[in-house]
Structure 1
Amino acid sequence: MLRQLARTALTLAVLASAVACSNNDDGSDGYTLRIGATSPTGTPAGSLGWGDKEGILAEQLKGAGVDKIEYSFFQSGSDVASALFAGAIDVAAIGDNPALRARSRDPKVVLLALDSVNGDAWLVGAKGGPTTIQGLVGKSVTAPQGTIRDRAAKQLIDAAGLTGKIEVRDVPTPESIAGLSSGQIDATVVTGASAIELQHKGFPIIDSLSRHGLGSTGTNIALSPFTDEHPEFADSWRQAVTAVNKNINENFDDYVAWVAETDGTQLEFVKESTKVDEFNTEPFPAQGVDQLEAAYEFLNADGSLENQYSVREWAGAQS
């Protein structure tokens, strides 16, 4: 309960700060773009962070009237989506799970672009525990509820034909990793360099999305009142996202070195967990839309969506 209250207080504080920032008026003709995202470091991370560091986002968005970019960071994609609905931010850069849920809640949610595709997630077991997913029958897997990691856990269990035979428990990732180390947790789902670091420490990789041809996407969403007010923004945002990813493709070694330094992890872990083909150079690549639709279908079958809609129309109408 204390953790939940603290998280709520932090989210409200960030919301208040973001709303306050939005009321600044420096008298210029342009406007301040407020972007919300998750970040373990409290700074722009991933491709968004690279685009900010290299000045690509600012340069590409000038034509749409953006003369300043401000960031707000949250603990989860669901919190970012809540900030979008609250009017505290203009763009939410989040995973596909919260974006799909947000669209099912309100048809005014606009899919601006996919900023990444082929995202992987790894099912990591405890030392001395099961090394196959079949060995987890009667046991449990942990993942934060409503996240890509939660969906990945359920997808991997489903792919093994073991739905209903392995419990998925709602446990935050830091506590899950601590539980793995102490032997109190059987397995958890981890993304990024953390999974590879655990593997190097002797924790077995039981399964992963990529082994089954599955993957996740990074999504950028806004609300239609904002895009209607700024009609040039959506196209400029798509150009910005693809320009950032093209730059990452061309400077991949520099990018992964920056990620390792920013996240405080070893370069080899970042290199092993990050692939060039994650950074799409068109806003709605066919493979990414397929992955987004597969995520939608899984969430819909799971009863996680409030209303049904067509993912392809949602993406196609914007392309």
Structure 2
Amino acid sequence: MFRHVARTVLTLAVLSTAVACGSGDDGSGGITLRIGATSPTGTPAGSLGWGDKEGILAEQLKDAGVDKIEYSFFQSGSDVASALFAGAVDVAAVGDNPALRARSKDPKVVLLALDSINSDVWLVGAKGGPTDIEGLVGKAVTAPHGTVRDRSARQLIDAAGLNGRIEVRDVPTPESIAGLSSGEIAATAVSGASAIELQHKVFPLIDSLSRHGLGYTGTNIALTTFTDRHPGFADAWRRAVTAVNRDIQDNFDAYATWVAQTDGTEVEFVTESTRPDEFNTEPFPPRGVDQLQAAYEFLQADGSLQSPFDVREWAGATQ
């Protein structure tokens, strides 16, 4: 998951290319759907990648007139949301943090579906450093600003009653992990198999969202300017997401093996960090909406959102 300059150059390059291409009729009468997502490998990852690999997305979206899917990849969910507002992508597959920020900025942001729930983030410490969150008082933890990992780090500090006593610094994940190894960083927020891999390398897992009954959701958002032009798309997308997730649940071992291969990690790290119940088979499961609401309340309380809105109403939208 580049240094700030490299990330900016990559984002601008993808934006300019995607905007130039545009969306809509691809010349055959069908829709070319442009999907934006984060990906450290430059290929479709996670459930989106599985749906692409297995042909489930393409098959399920045919009824909405989609006959071609193009992907643009970015280094953060905030970059993906920016691409959505810029008209460079039609659908943004992002974490709940950038989705909530986007909706607070513009009511035209539609929540198409939640594509995952119950996902965890771990606070990983440096070797030989603190093993509990109290040991981080007076130190700094790191996470890329505006991401789920950033919010999770602050949520964990809040849950420990240590607000104002532990600083959260904006540092990209690769630099953070390098800093852990050198001892220059006390702790960083990490998600997925990377956290478990670090644990196996004897980096302490100091805390996690799941220990506090918390989690984060994956969201898919679009703008009403797109959904109004394609009135059957939102329902087709929801059917596609749930079909992909159902297939992952039915073939979880194969999915975990594929993730390990594409991410260059071990299957055991994937299975330790990912559970089948993260892949919801309805577009707005109650537990996922609760997690989205909890994220909203935290961001609203700390002033991260531009304007208030009703999360549950947003999640029940049928645009």
Q: TM-score, normalised by structure 2?
A: 0.97
- Distance (whole Å) between structure 2 residues aligned to residue 154 and residue 117 of structure 1: 19
CA contact (8 A) 2:110 2:224 kept: yes
- Distance (whole Å) between structure 2 residues aligned to residue 30 and residue 4 of structure 1: 37
* AA in 2 matched with 1:85: F
CA contact (8 A) 2:122 2:207 kept: yes
Q: Deviations for 1:240-265, whole angstroms, at most 9, x for unmatched residues?
A: 00000000000000000000001111
Q: Could you list the runs of 5+ residues in structure 2 that have no partner in the other structure? A: none
Identity %: 80
1:122 counterpart = 2:122: yes
**Residue in 2 aligned with 1:69?**
69
- Distance (whole Å) between structure 2 residues aligned to residue 149 and residue 209 of structure 1: 10
**Residue in 2 aligned with 1:296?**
296
- The alignment partner of 2:168 has SS state of strand
CA contact (8 A) 2:19 2:86 kept: no
- Distance (whole Å) between structure 1 residues aligned to residue 56 and residue 130 of structure 2: 46
- The alignment partner of 1:244 has SS state of helix
* AA in 1 matched with 2:115: D
1:17 counterpart = 2:32: no
**Residue in 2 aligned with 1:195?**
195
Q: CA deviation at 1:3?
A: 4.1
Q: Deviations for 1:250-307, whole angstroms, at most 9, x for unmatched residues?
A: 0000000000001111111111001011000000000000000000000011100000
Q: CA deviation at 1:26?
A: 4.7
**Residue in 2 aligned with 1:100?**
100
**Residue in 2 aligned with 1:272?**
272
Q: Deviations for 1:79-108, whole angstroms, at most 9, x for unmatched residues?
A: 100100011110000000000000000000
Q: CA deviation at 1:137?
A: 1.0
Q: CA deviation at 1:179?
A: 0.7
Q: 1:167 to 1:26 in 2, by over 3 A?
A: closer
Tell me the number of residue pairs that the alignment of Structure 1 and Structure 2 aligns: 318
* AA in 1 matched with 2:239: Q
**Residue in 2 aligned with 1:78?**
78
Q: Deviations for 1:95-154, whole angstroms, at most 9, x for unmatched residues?
A: 000000000000000000000000100001111111011111111111111110010000
- Distance (whole Å) between structure 2 residues aligned to residue 204 and residue 9 of structure 1: 34
* AA in 2 matched with 1:190: V
Q: 1:24 to 1:113 in 2, by over 3 A?
A: closer
101-110 vs 308-317, which moves further:
308-317
1:177 counterpart = 2:188: no
**Residue in 2 aligned with 1:311?**
311
Q: 1:135 to 1:239 in 2, by over 3 A?
A: same
- The alignment partner of 2:188 has SS state of strand
* AA in 2 matched with 1:46: G
